[in-house]
Structure 1
Amino acid sequence: MQSRLNPPKALVFGGTGSVGEHVLRGLARANVPTAFTWNQSRERAHALASELSMRPVQVDLSDAAATRAALRVLREEGFVPSLFIHCAGVNQGASLADITDEKWSKAMAVNCQSAFIACQELAPAMAQAGEGHFVLVGALDRTQSAPSPVHFAASQGALSAMAMALAKELGPKGVRINVVALGLLESGLSREVGEKLVSDYKGFSALRRLGRPEEAAKAILWLALENTYMNGKVLPVNGGI
């Protein structure tokens, strides 16, 4: 079926993060019209939007109603993406006893629920066109046993399980959904882990180092722009853990 969404447009959740910024730059190099979300980094968001000629959208992804509203505003403006990349994430470190209901809810909302909302809101147009791709960026906790706060790990497991289920539902309509499971990086959420975990990670990594955000972005962009057959899978990008 010929896609009605050509040329492709992209929407990135979490465009001002270390990985998200490199994803935006890659999309700009590929000349893909792009919108991206931001929440607190106003100055950075507007600088990127100006430099890369992209549409910034302020939204708190922990707020389901606000997330849906932002997506509907884009749709009303005629911005209908065939590529969605979820780079947003929070990791409020805490032991089991210290995880509050608020911390649990925020981790699930930002790390998983916001991706679900995007899939629910964007999939109908992709399915009608017969083409589309969701790339959800998570962490290695779903497939590897690195220590992590339980609420963060639970959100990552939910993200991967959701992708596998949605791939079965949306695949027959030409829509792909995959997860990139990142290991520890030199920036972003990885800066919040302790020095011992970083040292242990380097020791167990086949490459003996942390990843770089631009390396993560390359894998994400390959899935978004080049992949045509992988579906419902988790692609580990972790240096060989």
Structure 2
Amino acid sequence: MFSTTRPLYGQTAIVTGASRGIGRSIAIALGRAGAHVVVNYLKSQAAAAEVVETILNLGSKAIAVQADVSSPEEVETLVTASTSLGAPQILVNNAGISQSRLLLDTSLEEWDRMLKSNLTAPFLCTKAVLPYMLRSGYGRIVNISSIWGISGGSFEVAYSASKGGIIAFTKALAKEIGPSGITVNAVAPGAIETDMLQGLSQEEMLLLQARTPVGRLGHPDDVANAVVFLVSPRTSYITGQVISPNGGLES
């Protein structure tokens, strides 16, 4: 039942890494749009519970599920738990990590960890929800990439490679399952005020803001708004695309 105010009414959405930052804003925005939301978290149980409470107060259903989404067994647990709200129709692969380091200083263990968190986890989650979406002939998958996945970032080779990989994953999967009524898109944020920017100095933050044509850093809600647009039932003709909410920052 489509509504302009609650276009996702009754749909079940899984948001990975939803206890804070961009994931938190996405989960709440989906709940506000009427979706039942599975709030995935790894360690931040109290924060995840707060997100669930916020969504419940918006009139939608929500549960918090702890799971390491880079683990096949825990992903299965996550998806199985989500069916208590209904078969998953929306998946937002948001969980991930970042690291700023020279390539020569990046160990093989750090490289593997980056790819496991940012590329393998979306693969596992997508593979787990696809059977539900294929059976219903409907689904919306959104993968959170990064502006550096488009252009590459100095001192962030591993991160850029993992986020560029998720863009290629998005485009290829969109072609593969397009005839099944399932769309697959990516959102590649620019400089967003989250924990991932905490390593920057005040001077670096001001410089980044000055480089952004709209004159400010992004807010997690700027990313969430793009996600809500892409998972709408009315965006069935948009797939395999990358939307970059970046305030005009050059990629």
Instruction: Provide the TM-score with structure 2 as the length reference.
Output: 0.86
Q: Which amino acid aligns with 2:121?
A: S
Aligned pair 1:191/2:209, yes or no? no
Contact 2:67 2:77 in 1 (8 A): no
1:236 counterpart residue number: 244
Unaligned runs of 5+ in 2: 1-7, 57-61
Q: Which amino acid aligns with 2:144?
A: V
Report deviation, 1:133: 0.6
Contact 2:153 2:160 in 1 (8 A): no
For residues 15 and 111 of structure 1, what CA distance do their matches in structure 2 show?
15
Pick one of 12, 15, 21 that aligns with 1:12.
15
Q: Pairwise mapping of residues 140-155 of structure 1 onto structure 2 (< 5 A)?
A: 140-155=147-162
Bigger Cα displacement from structure 2, 214-223 vs 139-148: 139-148
1:190/1:64 CA distance change after superposition, 3 Å = farther
1:237/1:105 CA distance change after superposition, 3 Å = same
1:26 counterpart residue number: 29
Q: Which amino acid aligns with 1:186?
A: E
1:181 counterpart residue number: 188
Aligned pair 1:71/2:79, yes or no? yes
For residues 148 and 64 of structure 2, what CA distance do their matches in structure 1 show?
30
Report deviation, 1:48: 2.0
More relative contact order, 1 or 2 (CA 8 Å, 6+ apart): 1
For residues 85 and 24 of structure 2, what CA distance do their matches in structure 1 show?
24
Bigger Cα displacement from structure 2, 15-24 vs 137-146: 137-146
SS in 1 for 2:186: strand
Identity %: 25
1:70/1:145 CA distance change after superposition, 3 Å = closer
Instruction: Provide the TM-score with structure 1 as the length reference.
Output: 0.89
Equivalent pairs counted in the alignment come to 236
Pick one of 136, 140, 144 that aligns with 1:137.
144
2:42 counterpart residue number: 39
Contact 1:63 1:109 in 2 (8 A): no
SS in 1 for 2:231: helix
What is the root-mean-square deviation in Å for CA atoms of aligned residues?
2.1
Report deviation, 1:60: 1.7
Q: Which amino acid aligns with 2:31?
A: A
Q: Which amino acid aligns with 1:228?
A: S
1:97/1:215 CA distance change after superposition, 3 Å = same
Q: Which amino acid aligns with 1:236?
A: S
